[in-house]
Structure 1
Amino acid sequence: MSQLLLVLAEPSVLVFDNAPYHSQLTEESRCSTTTTNKAELVKWLEHRKIPFPPHATRPELLQLCKKNRQDPRYTIDNIIREWDHEVVRLPPAPPELNAIEQVWDCMKRYVRSSLQQFTRAGLQVRLEVAKLCATKEVWAGVV
């Protein structure tokens, strides 16, 4: 990531989808989940100095954690902002906002329509040809 940031013109806007490797939460914005044990819930609340009843049940503590969680902050966003760039995150689902998804769709349609009999060798040949779908014109059309 730092090599990319070195060559970007400043300021730049980086657009991210919601892939897991783009969405690692910072330690401060991680929140407890339904799989978190009671001791961890207590630790989370104490670390943030959030008062809770001494005999609260695990579901009560979990509810309190969810009520007090921060908006998500991502590790990669912090790094990018340190370099004076901006981050824009795509909504979770719509592929029409994500150019690569549209190019993949073009390639998958080609493979499906041209693969008469499924064999590993046939698939590999079709995938190689499908890569040719990713032309400058296709990219220009989806961007």
Structure 2
Amino acid sequence: MTGELFIRRLTMQLLPSLPEPSVLVLDNAPYHSQLTDDRRSPTSATKKADFISWLEYRRLPIPPGATRPELLLIRPQNRPKPQYTVDNIIRQWGHEVVRPPPAHPELNAIEQVSAYMKHHGRSLLHRFTRVDLQARLEEARLCATQSVWAGAVKRSREFEDWYWLSDNIQKPVGPLIINLDSDD
């Protein structure tokens, strides 16, 4: 899958078929996470001249005689907040985008349903031919029913609740004033 192919399928097939408004959950696959042109920041492979152009475009001070490694030190505090091309397209169609945290498949219902479908498809695959594989994939897709999705969402919420509890996050404490002139 490429970003261009994903956007084509998104705009030609998926988005026109969804009732408005819908919520789309996207993982952090590279084709979901292409930054808009104005939100790209230089990388360690960026040429010095391009880096300087990036700084000038953002009206950021350029230290005279700075080397490329010195310019790279300027990047972290001036990197724009990410904005993704796919997210903008989805919002233009009147839908919302949710991005679960990376490396936490238990918080992403899509990952759970995908694992369920893969398990189902593999368990029935006796011969590895294209026809058999396509048939098993279709059966696996049909097994991802509304109740399977509801169970995956429920499990994701249970994991999220457990994480909140295990992190021992409590309500914030008000301001604490310490008088330095006292002997207490």
Q: So what's the TM-score if we normalise by structure 2?
A: 0.61
Matched, 1:85 2:99: no
Closer/same/farther in 2, CA of residues 142 and 89 from structure 1, 3 Å limit: same
Closer/same/farther in 2, CA of residues 74 and 126 from structure 1, 3 Å limit: closer
Q: 2-side partners of 1:83 and 1:130: how far apart?
A: 29
List alignment gaps of at least 5 residues for structure 1.
none
Report how many residues are paired: 141
Closer/same/farther in 2, CA of residues 110 and 15 from structure 1, 3 Å limit: closer
Residue in structure 2 matched with residue 8 of structure 1 by the alignment: 19
Larger radius of gyration: 2
Amino acid at match of 1:26: T
Residue in structure 2 matched with residue 67 of structure 1 by the alignment: 77
| Deviation, structure 1 residue 141 | 1.5
Amino acid at match of 1:87: V
| Deviation, structure 1 residue 29 | 1.0
Amino acid at match of 2:19: L
Q: 2-side partners of 1:6 and 1:127: how far apart?
A: 22
| Deviation, structure 1 residue 97 | 2.7
| Deviation, structure 1 residue 14 | 2.7
Q: 1-side partners of 2:147 and 2:89: how far apart?
A: 33
| Deviation, structure 1 residue 112 | 5.7
1:32, 1:66 within 8 Å by CA — same for their partners in 2? no
Q: 1-side partners of 2:65 and 2:24: how far apart?
A: 47
Residue in structure 2 matched with residue 53 of structure 1 by the alignment: 63
Amino acid at match of 2:105: P
RMSD of the TM alignment (CA)? 3.0
| % identity of equivalent residues | 57
| Deviation, structure 1 residue 60 | 0.8
Amino acid at match of 2:104: P
| Deviation, structure 1 residue 2 | 4.1
Closer/same/farther in 2, CA of residues 80 and 106 from structure 1, 3 Å limit: closer
